Amino acid sequence: MDASRRAVLAGVGAAAFAGCAQAQGLRARNKPAPVAGPYGPAAEYAAARRGVSLLVMQDGKILFENYPNVGAPDKGWELASGTKSFTGIMAALASADGLLDIDEPAAKTLTEWKSDARAKITIRHLLTLTSGLQGAGEVARPPTYLDAITAKAVMQPGAKFVYGPTNFQCFGEIMKRKLKAAGKPEDPVAWLQVRLFDGLGIRPKDWKRSADGNPLLPQGAHFNARDWAKFGQWVMDGAKGADPKVYSTMFDATQANPGYGLSWWLLRPGLIGPSPRSGIDGDAIGDAAQGEDIVMAAGAGDQRLYLLRKRKLVIARQANEILRAMAPGQTKWRDDEFLRLLPL
C-alpha cells in the first residue's frame, strides 16, 4: 500500500474515531445526572424526556425541586394546553362574582346563537368539551374569538367529547362580553391577573394572543414551575373566593368522558385522551391511578400539573422542545410510569 493511500485511510480512521467519541460525549452530556433523595427516580425520568423543571409541593411548602438541562427556577415555559385548566377557574370566579352561571345558555351572551341549534349549548358544555360544535378547531392553531363563535352545532350538546381549542375561544368571547356588560376591562386574562394571580403573588412570564389581540385560552400561558405549583396549591386547597358549586363541577366527570371534568383531566379508568400523539394513555392512567385521587392540567410536550389530592401533593413538571416531543422516535413520556416512580 503506497504512502498516500495509508495517509488517507489513517485520516478516515481518525475522523471516525473522533466522530464516535463526539457521539459518546454527546450521549454522556444528555444522560440525566443522578438525583439523590426519594424523588430522585422521578426527577431522572423527567430530565431524560426534555425536562426543565420538576417541583413537588405540599401544604404550600416545596418538598423538592429540580431544574435539569436548560431549566432554572425563575424561567417560564409554555404550558401549551395546560392553559386550558385556567378556564374552569375563570368560570368559578366569574360565577362567584355574579357574572355568569355555568348552566346558563351560552346564547344568553352570544346572541348570534339564539336562533339555531346552538341555543341549547351551555357554558358547562363548552368547558367540558361536549358542546357538539362542528369540529374542535385545529389543535395548536386556535381560531380567533369571533371565528370560533361561527362554528355550527352538528351534535346534541353532551353527546360526545371532542377535544380542541374552539370551545375555549368561545368562552373567551363570552367572558369579554360579560366583563364589558359589568363595566370592567374586557380582557379575560387581565381580569384573572387582578382577580386571582395578584393575590397569590403569581405573574405569568407570557400569555400569547391571537392576531386580533385577544388572549388565547386553549394555550399560550408561560409560567415558571413555582408559580404553576402555587396556583395548583390554591386549587388543591379549595380555590378560596371561587364558587364552590363550580369548583366541585371542575372535577365531575361527564357521561361523554369519565376522565374529563370542567377543563381538568381526571385520572381514572375510562379516560378518553386528546389524541394518540398526546401521550395521555387513558387505560394506563386508569391502572396507575387506582386508589388515588388525581386531577391534572396537561399540555403538549408533556407539560403536567398533577394534584394528588389524597396525598396533598402538587407536582409541576415542564419540558422544552414541544415540537420535538411529538416527532417519531423520541423518548416518550408516560404518566403511569412517572406516577409509579413517586415515593409512597
Question: Following DSSP, what letter does each residue of 274-338 receive, concatenated?
Answer: S-GGG---HHHHHHHTTT--EEEEEETTTEEEEEETTTTEEEEEEES-HHHHTSTTPPPP-HHHH
Residue 26 domain-assigned?
no
Q: Range of 237's domain?
A: 37-340
Residue 178 domain-assigned?
yes
Write the secondary structure of 20-80 as one string of H (helix), E (strand) and C (coil): HHHHHHHHHHHCCCCCCCCCHHHHHHHHCCCEEEEEEEECCEEEEEECCCCCCCCCCEECH
The alpha carbon torsion through 164, 123, 108, 149 (nearest 10 deg) reads 0
Contact assessment for residue 105 and residue 119, using Cβ atoms and an 8 Å cutoff: yes
Beta bridge partners of residue 303, listed in sequence order: 299
Residue 29 domain-assigned?
no
Residue 279 domain-assigned?
yes
Residue 204 domain-assigned?
yes
Residue 20 domain-assigned?
no
DSSP assignments along 228-281, one per residue: HHHHHHHHHTT-TTS-HHHHHHTT---SS-TTB-SSSEEESTT---S-GGG---
Prediction pTM value: 0.89
pLDDT in tens, the chain (344 residues): 444 444 433 443 444 444 444 434 434 445 678 999 999 999 999 999 999 999 999 999 999 999 999 999 999 999 999 999 999 999 999 999 999 999 999 999 999 999 999 999 999 999 999 999 987 666 668 999 999 999 999 999 999 999 999 999 999 999 999 999 999 999 999 999 999 999 999 999 999 999 999 999 999 999 999 999 999 999 999 999 999 999 999 999 999 999 999 999 999 989 999 876 667 877 788 777 888 999 999 999 999 999 999 999 999 999 999 888 878 888 889 999 999 999 98
Which CATH number is 49's domain given? 3.40.710.10
Contact assessment for residue 127 and residue 263, using Cβ atoms and an 8 Å cutoff: yes
Q: State the Cα–Cα distance between residues 287 and 267, nearest whole angstrom.
A: 9
Residue 27 domain-assigned?
no
Q: State the Cα–Cα distance between residues 202 and 58, nearest whole angstrom.
A: 18
Domain count for the chain, please give it.
1
Provide the residue count of the chain: 344
Residue 17 domain-assigned?
no
